[in-house]
C-alpha cells in the first residue's frame, strides 16, 4: 500500500477492489483452507492502514510530472 500510495495510486481503491472480489468469489473455501487472507480481512487491513498512507498519496499527487520536452 505504501509503495502504491507513493506512486500516486489511491489506496482507497483497494477497498472497492476487494469488495468486488468478494462478490465474485461466492462459494470460496473458508480462510483457514486458503493460503491468502479473506477479502473481509484484507479490507479491514486496508482501512486500518489508510491513515498512514493517505498523506503519502496526497504528497504524490502534488509532485509535478517532468516534461519530456528538451
Does the CA dihedral 54-12-2-6 come out positive or negative?
A: negative
- The pLDDT tens digits for 37-61 are 677 888 999 999 999 999 999 999 8
Which residues in 54-68 are b (16+ Cβ under 10 Å) and which e?
eebbeeeeeeeeeee
pLDDT for the residue numbered 68 = 74
Evaluate if residue 28 carries a pLDDT over 80: no
Q: What does the mean pLDDT of the chain come to?
A: 85
Of residues 33 and 6, more confidently modeled? 6
- The three cell numbers locating residue 59: 504528497
Number of C-beta neighbours around residue 4 at 10 A: 16
Q: What pLDDT, on the 0 to 100 scale, is given for residue 70? A: 61
Amino acid at each position: 500500500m505504501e509503495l502504491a500510495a507513493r506512486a500516486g495510486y489511491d489506496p482507497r481503491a483497494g477497498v472497492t477492489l476487494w469488495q468486488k472480489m468478494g462478490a465474485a468469489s461466492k462459494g470460496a473455501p473458508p480462510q483457514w483452507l486458503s493460503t491468502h487472507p479473506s477479502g473481509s480481512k484484507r479490507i479491514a487491513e486496508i482501512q486500518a492502514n489508510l491513515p498512514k498512507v493517505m498523506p503519502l498519496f496526497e504528497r504524490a499527487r502534488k509532485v509535478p510530472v517532468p516534461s519530456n520536452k528538451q
